Structure formats: structure tokens, C-alpha cells
């Protein structure tokens, strides 16, 4: 907030008078922080889980080892989510791939790069010549851009 002092009185940017006590309690540029220690640091859920998994279980195994045994038992019973979890942990997740070529390896369609202004203009001219509108003009750059100008 910009406070200006005139004739011993303080005014905000709207020209309204501001009490001196308010100005005295405002943060000063380069002065001490209003919260010098900052927000207290909290542990993340991952940190908590990591510590709990490292703790020893009642049968001498860590909680992590006990969980691994349960996952293996469930996978051996044929439960797919556990099998999938084991494979994803051991082999990594299968990458999602999108095929943009045909079975013969050729492009299914050509993509026109309109980032260049000259190419964009040529594209609009191409559209104007190939698409007839209801009036005597065509669809030109201004109509396609939606900037409200008529051709």
C-alpha cells in the first residue's frame, strides 16, 4: 500500500487520511519480516510412510518386508492388481504410446505449421478461395480470427 506524507499527515493512494498508528505498524521495505520464523515445517505423507515402513514389525521383519510378503502371496493367488504392481515395480510402467502413422508407417495426415505469419496468410487465402460463404466474399483471415473486421 502506498502511503504518502503531507504536512505531517498520512494519505493513501485514494487521498484518504490514514491514522499515524496504522502507518507506524506497517511493514517497512527492507525491514524485519512480520513472520521471521515462517510457517512451521511439516512432514510430508511420504516422509511419514517411509519412517513407518522402516519400523520393525512384531515378527522381526520391517513393515516394508511384511507388505512385500503380502503382495507376493496375493500375486501367487492370481490377483491381477498385485501381479501388475510387482511387474510395474520390477520392470517399470509400460509407456503409453499414441500411433499417428498408418500400418504402413506413413503419416495418416499432414499437419500444417501456421506459426509463421506468411504461412498463416497463405492458409487464409487458400480457405477464402475454396470455401464460399453466403455473401459474395469468402472466409478471410479476419473472419477466421474472429476479430470482427469484415472482408
User: What digits encode the pLDDT tens for the residues 43-81?
Assistant: 999 999 999 999 997 889 999 999 899 999 999 999 998
Q: How many distinct structural domains can be found in the chain?
A: 2
Mean pLDDT of all residues in 91-116: 76
**Residue 15 resides in a domain:** yes
Q: What 3 state SS string does the chain have?
A: CCCEEECCEEECCCCCEECHHHHHHCCCCCCCCCCCCCCCCCCCHHHHHHHHHHCECCCCCEHHHHHHHHHHHHHHCCCHHHHHHHHHHHHCCCCCCCCCECCCCCECCCCCCCCCHHHHHHHHHHHHHHCECCCCCECCHHHHHCCCCCC
Q: Which domain holds residue 16?
A: 1-29
Indicate whether 97 belongs to any domain: no
In a domain, 123, yes or no: no
State pTM to two decimals.
0.38
Report if residue 117 sits inside a domain: no
pLDDT digits (tens, 9 = 90+) for 119-142: 888 888 877 776 655 445 545 455
Mean pLDDT confidence for 15-33? 77
pLDDT of residue 131: 61
**Domain boundary residue among 91, 115, 137?**
91
> Does residue 127 belong to any structural domain of this protein?
no
pLDDT for residue 150 is more than 70: no
Looking at the domain assignment, is residue 151 inside a domain? Answer: no
Which pLDDT value is given to residue 121?
85
pLDDT at 47: 93
- Is residue 86 situated within a structural domain? yes
Amino acid at each position: 500500500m502506498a502511503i504518502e506524507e503531507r504536512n505531517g499527515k498520512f494519505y493513501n493512494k485514494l487521498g484518504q487520511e490514514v491514522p499515524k498508528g496504522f502507518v507506524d505498524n506497517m511493514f517497512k521495505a527492507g525491514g524485519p519480516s512480520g513472520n521471521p520464523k515462517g510457517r512451521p515445517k511439516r512432514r510430508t505423507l511420504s516422509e511419514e510412510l517411509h519412517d513407518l515402513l522402516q519400523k520393525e514389525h512384531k515378527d522381526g521383519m520391517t513393515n516394508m518386508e511384511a507388505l512385500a510378503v503380502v503382495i507376493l502371496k496375493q500375486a501367487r493367488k492370481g490377483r491381477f492388481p498385485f501381479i501388475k504392481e510387482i511387474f510395474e515395480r520390477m520392470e517399470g510402467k509400460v509407456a503409453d504410446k499414441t500411433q499417428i502413422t498408418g500400418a504402413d508407417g506413413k503419416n495418416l495426415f499432414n499437419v500444417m505449421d501456421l506459426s509463421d505469419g506468411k504461412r498463416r496468410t497463405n492458409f487464409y487465402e487458400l480457405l477464402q478461395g475454396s470455401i464460399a460463404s453466403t455473401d459474395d466474399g469468402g472466409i478471410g483471415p479476419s473472419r477466421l480470427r474472429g476479430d470482427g473486421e469484415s472482408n
